[in-house]
Amino acid sequence: MPRIDKSDSWKNLERLGQDKNLNTIEKLFSEDPTRAKRQALELNGLYLDCSRNQIDQETQALLLNICEQAHVSDQINAMFTGKKINISEQRAVLHTALRSSEKNDPNGPLDEIRKSIHANLDQMQQLTNMFRSGQLFGATGEQIDTVINIGIGGSDLGPKLVYGALKKPEDPHILFVSNIDDADLASKLQITDAARTLFIVASKTFTTAETLTNAKAALSWLCEKLKVDDQHAIKHHFVATTANPSAAKAFGIESKKIFSFWDWVGGRYSLWSAVGLPISLGLGFEEFKALLKGAEEMDLHFKSAPHDKNLPIMLALTGLWHINFRKYPTQAILPYTEKLALFPEYLQQLEMESNGKMIDRSETKIEYHTAPIIWGSRGTNFQHSFAQHLLQSPTITPCDFIAITEDAKKDTTGKALLANCLAQIEALAFGNQKQKALEEDAKPSRMIEGNRPSNIILMDELNAPSIGRLLALYEHKVFVQGLIWNINSFDQWGVELGKSLATVIGKRLGNEDAKSDRMTSNSNLIERIKMTNQRTIS
Ligand code: F6P
């Protein structure tokens, strides 16, 4: 592919993006009072309003050109039909197949894998029904009523987000352990009855240090509490979700307790696979299916809607404008619902692990920004911490707001959530300069200049299908941006170095002789840690 940043459209966007006289958001609204409506897109109750950005028709047309030049439509087709678009690992990228129903894709290229996907779903449904009907028993014959999912990254964040967002008071307890810091596991074990607990070891590779360490610690705890041996404890209290079933077997888990998936499901895209087991156990299999259905709706829209009416594409182009042409380095994610409090963290992995890269698909270093730094928190809490920075700092941060429409009809607190959310987007876009200027004591420190970009996603309600749509929206947004930047969004080579260094350093901290051919800046720190600990021991 010719370099996208050498194209005329890219160059024109660079010029426009740095133009001192670029139309303000206020000017765009005053020139076109229908702008908010015109710039809004909707899919089955998910309403995306991108009007509060400094994007006029000329800019939008250029962004859409970029999309054409990156052959986005062909690449979408390549992904959905199972081409090996994860080129560095020679893998297809087919998490969308996990949510594709036969009726929407009859005789498609997915037919071959559909059978195994169904078998997998059946296996999940069976365990879910047993668990939720009280038919699952532990090593001492007690009913299992609690589940602890041990996993990290994609084997943790997606299921934790969805379960946390949708759990009702009567739903069973699903706990999540991820950190190698044993305080994480200990805090969950403290509130758990060993005889009634099922552990899910969730790891695509089944080699992740955090997960295996926690799984072994959980096993020792079980054996000690229940006075049973490893074999018994594993047989009655452990299942695995993994793309490496032989490693799970080597851990001692029987084949029928292994919920496997495939190498074409990326870790951060795996909640739609067996990794979603905690969602199914916690909320019910039908809820899991409803989640898949919502995501499939977004897939079908993404595949077929024209670019300028396509929610993931327009969200991606807005982000592209901000990072590449307006040069805003970060992006805030601001859900106005406690239930989506984990969403910023979930998106950090999805966006930054997928697109935080500077080598393109032909192994050449690129000269433009890729994924912004994703951060954020839930409203209204952030209004009392970093909102000041969003409104008055010289560093501008584009924001994505997410709010739930039906909250406004519930009660005063629900109305307050919506009111605060709309107040923030208004304050960011339009500030208070005009009003303040009329006041006698107008001082610059009290001026909010406005013209700060944001998108808002209004979801009619928060339920399994609507979360499915939301997550798929961002997955496809990330995909489109990766295509335009010409990077492979589906590998993560960067994280490997830290893992291998930690192994060597861990040995050196433990006084083992661990040779490394690297110059290390850490010798001093390792000495300091060892000396201090020796001193405190003696
Ligand atoms: O280290 C990064 C990563 O590989 C993520 O991509 C992944 O979601 C996470 O670790 C956990 O990996 P696994 O599911 O193989 O344990």
9 lines ligand 1 (CB under 6 A): no
CA of 79 to the centre of ligand 1 (A): 21
Identify the helix (H) or strand (E) that includes residue 333.
strand 330-335
According to the model, what pLDDT value does residue 377 have? 98
CB of 240 closer than 6 angstroms to any ligand 1 atom: no
| Ligand 1 in reach of 155 Cβ (< 6 A) | yes
Q: Ligand 1 atom closest to Cα of 353?
A: 6
pLDDT value, residue 107: 59
Specify the higher pLDDT residue, 112 or 523: 523
* Ligand 1, atom 8, residue with closest C-alpha: 154
Distance of CA 504 from the midpoint of ligand 1 (Å): 20
Of 3-7, 32-36, 412-416, 510-514, where does mean pLDDT reach its minimum? 510-514
Bridge partners (DSSP) listed for residue 25: none
Is 499 marked active-site? yes
Report d(CA 369, CA 330) in Å as an integer. 11
Task: Compute the C-alpha angle 387/36/446, nearest 5°.
Answer: 30
Ligand 1 atom 9 nearest Cα: 153
CA proximity to 320, closest of 85, 80, 79, 60: 60
Mean pLDDT of 346-355: 98
Instruction: Please determine, for residue 519, whether its predicted confidence score (pLDDT) is greater than 70.
Output: no
Mutate which of 89, 178, 204, 210 to test ligand 1's pocket (most atoms within 8 Å of Cβ)?
204
pLDDT of residue 144: 98
421: nearest Cα among 461, 462, 466, 380: 380
Give the chain's mean pLDDT.
94
User: Is the pLDDT assigned to residue 438 strictly greater than 70?
Assistant: no
Cα–Cα dist 156/203, whole Å: 9
Would you put residue 56 in left (φ > 0), alpha (ψ -120 to 50) or beta? beta
Beta-sheet pairing, 146-150 with 173-177: parallel
Q: Average of pLDDT values for 167-178?
A: 97
Mean pLDDT over residues 461-469, rounded?
Answer: 98
Burial class (CB in 10 A: 0-12, 13-18, 19+), 372: buried
Residue 515 has pLDDT above 80, yes or no: no
Evaluated on CA atoms 288, 199, 235, 190, the torsion sign reads negative
Task: Give the CB-side neighbour count of residue 531, counting CA atoms within 13 A.
Answer: 6
Q: Which atom of ligand 1 is nearest to the CA of 244?
A: 15
**What average pLDDT does this structure show over 207-222?**
97
Give the tens place of pLDDT for each residue, 101-132: 877 776 565 777 888 999 999 999 999 999 99
pLDDT higher than 90, residue 436: no
CB 296 within 8 A of CB 305: no
The dihedral through the CA atoms of 17, 20, 25, 28 has a sign that is: negative
| Annotation marks residue 384 as catalytic | yes
* pLDDT confidence bin for 444, thresholds 50/70/90: confident
List the catalytic residue out of 353, 475, 476, 477.
Answer: 353
Of the residues 20, 365, 384, 515, only one is catalytic, namely: 384
Q: Which residues is 49 bridged to in the sheet?
A: 40, 456
Residue closest by Cα to atom 10 of ligand 1: 153
Q: In this predicted structure, what is the pLDDT of residue 102?
A: 74
Residue 537 scores a pLDDT above 70? no
Question: 523 pLDDT exceeds 90?
Answer: no
In this structure, what are the phi and psi dihedrals at residue 149, rounded to the nearest 5 degrees? Answer: -90, 120
Q: Is 400 helix (H, G, I), strand (E, B) or coil?
A: strand
Is the minimum distance from the CB of 100 to ligand 1 under 6 angstroms? Answer: no
Q: What percent of the chain has pLDDT over 70?
A: 97
Strands (E), 349-483: 373-376, 399-404, 454-459
Could you tell me the two tokens for 259?
Answer: 């919920």
Centroid of ligand 1 to alpha carbon of 48 (angstroms)? 31
Give, in degrees to the nearest 5, the angle at Cα 309 between 304 and 312. Answer: 75
Structure confidence at residue 437 (pLDDT)? 64
- Decide whether any atom of ligand 1 lies within 6 Å of the 152 Cβ: yes
Q: Are 515 and 309 in contact (CB under 8 A)?
A: no
99 CA distance to ligand 1 middle (Å): 21
Phi, psi values for residue 532, rounded to 5° = -60, -40
pLDDT of residue 538: 61
Q: Which of 188-202, 290-304, 331-345, 440-454 shows the lowest per-residue confidence on average (mean pLDDT)?
A: 440-454
φ, ψ of residue 514 in degrees (nearest 5): -120, 110
- Contact partners, residue 414, CB within 8 Å, separation at least 6: 406, 407, 408
- Pocket perturbation via mutation, ligand 1, pick of 86, 492, 493, 500 by most ligand atoms within 8 A of CB: 492
Task: List pLDDT tens digits, range 78-90.
Answer: 999 999 999 999 9
CA-closest candidate to residue 180, choices 219, 202, 211, 205: 211
Which of 290, 321, 269, 292 shows the shortest CA–CA distance to 479? 269
d(CA 406, CA 152): 33
Which two structure tokens, joined as six digits, stand for 266? 């990326």
Q: Which residue has the higher pLDDT, 506 or 148?
A: 148
CA of 353 to the centre of ligand 1 (A): 10
